[in-house]
Structure 1
């Protein structure tokens, strides 16, 4: 049985690296034209050069009428339209001004023949195109923000899945020979912070679970690594920032080992280098391993190191973002506060709403254990917080990327569930829902409102 399970374990795919859809088209000509410049001088240069290029081509192909005013199609307007499509109506208006200045220079004093209809119609067309561009740019940014959020949640779920798989395998095959289980390791990591003692605890945990003999953990100071280790174990050598394995780990933002440098015919004094990355891709530090047993330098052990480091840095991100809320409400779960802060920031930048549904339970409902039963009915992406009041309980359900319709659908599902279970309604069962849009109330004020509902007599 153990051999069959081991074969199954090796056949399962490893976590897929992060990819971006846009990278598929980066090498094509259209892919190179699609991205817009972010620097203001690049935008200004395009807004002026494209109309100038249209004037030069018009003067070369049609010297008598460079702007194609009397032609069947006014080709010169393509330049301002392209600028408006890329950067919006204001930049398109600047491009129209450049086209008008070009006409002014080409006329050489014959300004009484100003083509009013030509420029008026073209200006209206460019403004319409610019408004269309602005609308779709806003929609695209909103969709990208939602996609980025969902990608982060998927990365989190992937990490949780592989940690659960590793925990099951270790419990089945190696629990007797191991000093601790994966569950114990995760429980230890969940309470760690960014202090030196916590970093030392992380290294001790990696030593016990991944058989690392000598290693050091270095923190990131801005864009550079601190050469003094935050924590160390064994007898690690001094950090060499020019070591090929260190450079490769920082450039690729992935765990690297000595086999990769040998394949590239490079020499490294380290065996493993692994960056500490959160879900957003920010580097917190670098783990440098000098000594590890030969048989421990295998794929499953490397994957365990990577996942434990990722779980640790996820905890650091959660603590940093949730700290302002936890200072006022220490009983609030860190995951709930972290998700609320992140969704509020998303709403401020993109306008994507989220919803908190607060289910108020009377003593009768509490006696029937309804709060715990409803906890099991939450959606996969939701975060929950059960607040204990003087005489009642309040279950707060945070629904990411949801609005009033999402909350109504959730309450309708609960209504149907309570009707099938007890042939009654939510109100008759002692459950009273409250809808609190996160888009209208900042997180701190919303938590205050939840406690007010829970403490009401």
Structure 2
């Protein structure tokens, strides 16, 4: 059997019709040559060397002992017929042909068996190599797919928050924002960024506690009770908890769940719990759990705003304050960078103000107010933005301004730019920047 990697294959069948025809042909040609060279002694018995030996020797080496014996039998039959006419029997010549043919045929058969054994062993190893190659290729494809999923998770934090914001805004426009109303949208966003196969979303009330009647379910979710170890740990600690990897490896899971994610607003008020029963091993990472916690926090903020924020007259200021508080919390808990930029315009310039408003990026938030100095201030929240990102943002703003107003820049247009990096900043420092440097008050923005 020929495979893709075999350069040579030993024939397993030597006694074929073509082999027998070639045996007869070689023998007849040898006798014919002897007859043409010496009609009186066609088998070259009287020659100094038994040249007729090469015919059965060649056949025996090529096709084995049986074919060699057939060839030497033809020669000996012709020799016996010739000897009957000449009344002379060359015994040593005949015995020599037989012995030489026996040796050549035995050599062929012995080495053919060894070659066939080696070929079988090679075919088996080749089969195992092909099987290993297919398995390796499948594993490589699975690994590439896993890398794409993980890469998708890395790229998706900004786009996730954007889609979450759009979903919540759509719900707010259609009905009263409530966890029951946005349960399906929330579960869809959770599933897109964690790949769980079984999960449920449960509401939590500050007075009555968790309600074990799920608002929405994905997959085959087991029936859980209030005494579940993981569920109790999540309710008590108010943080995301998961089963340790070593317990899963040993098959020792004291809970029916693998992960519990709390939905808590910035003031740690309960909204609900995401209970995950089946999560793929590649998704059981700190990055995935942090992403789920971030998403749950934004959902909780959209549903429960603190009283100080709700007292603001402007709904845009309420939403901006809410997102600013969440950004500050994320910088402390998850080391996510964020920044504030304030553009204070001493002279009113509607064209410049419109240019700054249209420069808003997808995840950024803007709030336009008038500070206590009587100047228009455009406050911009830049989530997930490092200091280098802030510099790039300001460079882009300057380029837009120079394009719109030739030979001018922000300074010449009487615009004061202030920036503040939220990373590891204390709430007091944020309030000082907003209230003192930017000139705002607590009726305009809550920090």
TM-score above 0.5: no
* Larger Rg computed on CA atoms: 2
Classify the TM-score, shorter chain. Answer: 0.3 to 0.5
Tell me the TM-score normalized by structure 1.
Answer: 0.39
